[in-house]
Structure 1
């Protein structure tokens, strides 16, 4: 059940304390307090790495409570996808630069946000091309090629700006 290990690992990587991952000992202690039962740091490590894949409901509920996510995260794939999206957003907003962009975008009108989104998209494409990585939109056209949307969003291409 690598899916369980992936979920536990994602919680460790996303929900931080003072900018760092919780230690196995911190999680084990917190889960023991939540459940009133026994949790060892080795057991937490085993769950995270997939060495153990059949925890009790009580253990999963304690993990969920410790990381402050609904227990459904471990039992319902639809809920897990929704929670993962929320965790990704919370993690991104933890970055000061991302938060600054988001706060500035909130004060813009729809047109301003569309222009900002287009600028971010173009910078992302340039960054991907410079690093030799595939473009995030999956397109394989070289930079400067015709846009897939035909420019219908009202923004000009880079060559039209002055």
Structure 2
């Protein structure tokens, strides 16, 4: 990607690989009451500790690296339950159902619950005229692109 090109929006595509979808869940839907996993062993332990079915750290590794892209339905059900997403998130849904949008909205709601965005700001958006709302939406998207560009530049010491 060239330096002036904006990074893609931070939502998961329905055509993303299973590994990409699982990584997105870990980054965006990790339960707020649990410390983030530092490795696959901790991820498997967190799932087991939440009362879900056991998943081995080897299975987690295979799923996250794309070495296994057709797991048992039980494994996908366990992941869906742990992360609070519909099983359709993994690709078993009617193509017309906006599963990716639903999961993205859940991630946003989770962030709201953490106090990162004031609810009255979102309520005010509803009251704006369609034209003004479109302007605000473009401003938010531009700010998100700028934020990602800054983050990418900080990650690359040669930038």
TM-score band w.r.t. shorter chain: 0.5 to 0.7
Match of 1:16 among 10, 30, 35: 30
Q: State the distance in 2 between where 1:125 and 1:72 align.
A: 27
Question: What whole-Å deviation, never above 9, does each CA across 1:1-25 have from its counterpart, x for those lacking one?
Answer: x721122122112202338874234
Helix, strand or coil: the match of 1:97?
coil
Instruction: State how 1:81-92 maps to structure 2 within 5 Å.
Output: 82-92=98-108
Matched, 1:56 2:76: no
Change (3 A) 1:122 1:34: closer
The Cα RMSD (Å) is 3.8
5+ residue gaps, structure 1:
134-162
Instruction: State how 1:130-149 maps to structure 2 within 5 Å.
Output: none
Match of 1:102 among 102, 105, 122: 122
CA-CA distance at 1:47 after TM superposition:
0.5
Matched, 1:6 2:20: yes
CA-CA distance at 1:27 after TM superposition:
3.5
Count residues in correspondence: 126
Match of 1:34 among 28, 48, 52: 52
TM-score (norm 1): 0.56
Higher relative contact order (CA 8 A, sep 6+): 2
Question: What whole-Å deviation, never above 9, does each CA across 1:35-59 have from its counterpart, x for those lacking one?
Answer: 2xx4222321320221222321221
Conserved 8 A contact 1:73-1:80 = no
Conserved 8 A contact 1:92-1:98 = no
TM-score (norm 2): 0.57
Larger Rg: 1
